[in-house]
Amino acid sequence: MNKSRFNHNRANLNKSKVSFMFIDALSIAFTYSFSILVLYFLRVEYIDVKHTLMVLPFVIVFKLVLFYIFKIYHLVLDNVGLDEVVRISLVVTLSNFIIILITLFVNNFDFIYEPYFIFTTLLEVLTILIPRIIRRLIAMFTSRNAFNTGNRTLIIGAGAGGKIALNEIRNNPQMFNRIIGFVDDEETKIGNLMSGYPIFGPLSEIPKIIDKFDIEEVIMAIVNIEPQKFQDIINTFIDRPVRIRRLPSLKDYKVNQVDSITDVNVEDLLSREVVELDTAGIKDFIEGKRIIVTGAGGSIGSELVRQIVTYKPKSLLLVDIYENGIYDLLMELNIDFNKHIENKIDITLQIASVYNYQRMEKIVSEYLPDYIFHAAAYKHVPLMEGSPAEAVRTNVLGTYNMCKLADLYKVKKFVLVSSDKAVRPTNIMGATKRFAEMIIQSFSQKSNTSYSAVRFGNVLGSNGSVVPLFKRQIANGGPVTVTDPSIIRYFMTIPEAVGLILQSAVYADGGEIFILDMGEPVKIIDLAEKMIFLSGFKPYVDIQIKITGLRPGEKLFEELLVDKEHHLKTDNKLIYIEKLNGKKDVENEAGELIGGFEGLDNLEIKELVQKFVPTYTIDNKK
């Protein structure tokens, strides 16, 4: 939130407080004026109307001050409930009790006959509460639920989370939902009402409830539910064409988040066992260091930057050739600028290409980093099949340049971001990433710098990945395109991938290729079907799935380990190390490739790469 917006919101808040102080003053004046009139007409001998009216302004000021001290004017008015009613009632009662004590023990301070304070207190609580609940009542009676409009919605969880979801629907004008009821597993709740809505159950009956009441939207509102339990529940009705949303877990809430209800993403249904990282070890590794991230504007590079800044490096230099991506990242970091100032992190950026040796030497020689995280690469398989020269230029030459500079300027550690497509590659992108791995292993044998690579599968939601493509295709009404019904892929989230990169940097001694145990692979056609269901549609009915055939260089499945019998475990049970036998100095091969690919046609470039990467099978003879 920028400063002007913050000041504007603060001014509105102060204006609201003053308004309610004025309303409360009128309410108190009305309460006691009414009580005085009642006592007067009842001919109560203890009442002195003139004296009481003279004292009343002082009573009003005293009560307003007491209300402010007890933060009555800090209460949120959009959702006045029992807690707010009790708080206001207690403060009003306390103020009147103090007035009674003053009346009893201070001479000439007769205000109102003491027994009538019971009546006065009840009336005062009522008059002060009414303005605060009017907004809630108006919202309740004008909501879509009151007129039976909006998407027919079922809330899973009749506890605190369910109440949060209900309040969000009632108070957020952007929510277009008609609540049908809640569903819960707790037997004591089933069959009862919550805020006027029925509680169904158990959870195993959700598919039947959806069918019976023609549910159009389901909101998962069980607070801090375990990922596996969440997936188990969703999978019971994933084949129903209902939109599925959820309350985020506490760790997923974002600063300044407006809406508490978010869409369920396919990531929520593909998550595996959480990769536990040695955050203390990573912090010791990163804190106070000078770090360069190449490809900092990309999916992996930008997440690397986000996570690195949390470990308080001394400085961070962002390098990328694509100005828009790195500009967006810098703007994002500026939003959180105060935190970076507090941590005294110096964040700078340079627009540069890693294959330009002179440019990168100037950057590295001036910055003198402790670590380099090399994420700059071309990764899109079909595009690189048609532009192999660019794959060699960036993935091979760029990596060679950065490795050479890391050695020349005595960088402590160098980490290459690699890919599962480097294993027995059938495309030029994978082959160039395999050559990049060979380069870092070659440099590790002759340099004091520790070189390592991190190899992982497809990253959910990254630029060019299948998930954003499917989302666009679904939004456009289909069809969703799948290359082959049997194609499978390993998946991981971007934060998980970056956590692995940072952890591997801690473990690295030199020459390692780190691999994550990514669990079971996912069939892409199953992924497409789940994404269609999550959007509230039926696959093959509302949204078609079209089989397009394998693209050039594309495999039915990807591998993570070249030889599973020769991998080593690390302290992290999901991270392994592959050590290849027969590591060699590829300086000559790199020089021949880098010096010989310019001017060749596509097939000649692929054949030249194949000469140095014998595991590479050329699938596209073009």
Active site residues: 421
Collapsing DSSP to helix, strand or coil, 241 comes out as coil
The CA-to-CA distance between both ends of the chain, in Å, stands at 52
6, 113, 171 from 46: Cα distances, Å: 53, 6, 48
CA distance 503 to 454: 10
Contact 498, 303 (CB under 8 A): yes
Burial class (CB in 10 A: 0-12, 13-18, 19+), 241: middle
Contact 265, 474 (CB under 8 A): no
- DSSP per residue over 48-93, as a string? -HHHHHHHHHHHHHHHHHHHHHTTGGGS-STT--HHHHHHHHHHHH
142, 295, 332, 387, 454 from 299: Cα distances, Å: 44, 9, 14, 21, 15
The secondary structure of residue 582, as a DSSP letter, is S
Contact 111, 55 (CB under 8 A): yes
CA distance 184 to 222: 9
- Report the DSSP pairing between strands 290-294 and 193-194: unpaired
* Triad 138, 144, 148: Cα angle to 5°: 125
CA distance 350 to 164: 45
Backbone angles phi, psi at 478, to 5 degrees: 90, 180
- Give the sheet arrangement for strand 262-263, strand by strand: 193-194, 197-200, 177-183, 151-156, 217-220, 243-246, 262-263
Q: Does the N-terminal peptide bond of residue 207 adopt cis geometry, omega within 30 degrees of 0? A: no
Tokens, residue 93: 């009662």
* Nearest alpha-carbon partner for 463 in 298, 316, 318, 336: 298
Burial class (CB in 10 A: 0-12, 13-18, 19+), 391: buried
Query: Helices 299-310 and 494-507 sit at what angle, rounded to 10 degrees?
Result: 60
458 bridge partner residues? 491
**Contacts for 544 with CB less than 8 Å, ≥ 6 apart:** 478, 479, 480
CA distance 508 to 514: 9
Contact 89, 125 (CB under 8 A): yes
265, 375, 425, 436 from 620: Cα distances, Å: 35, 26, 12, 21
Contact 320, 293 (CB under 8 A): no
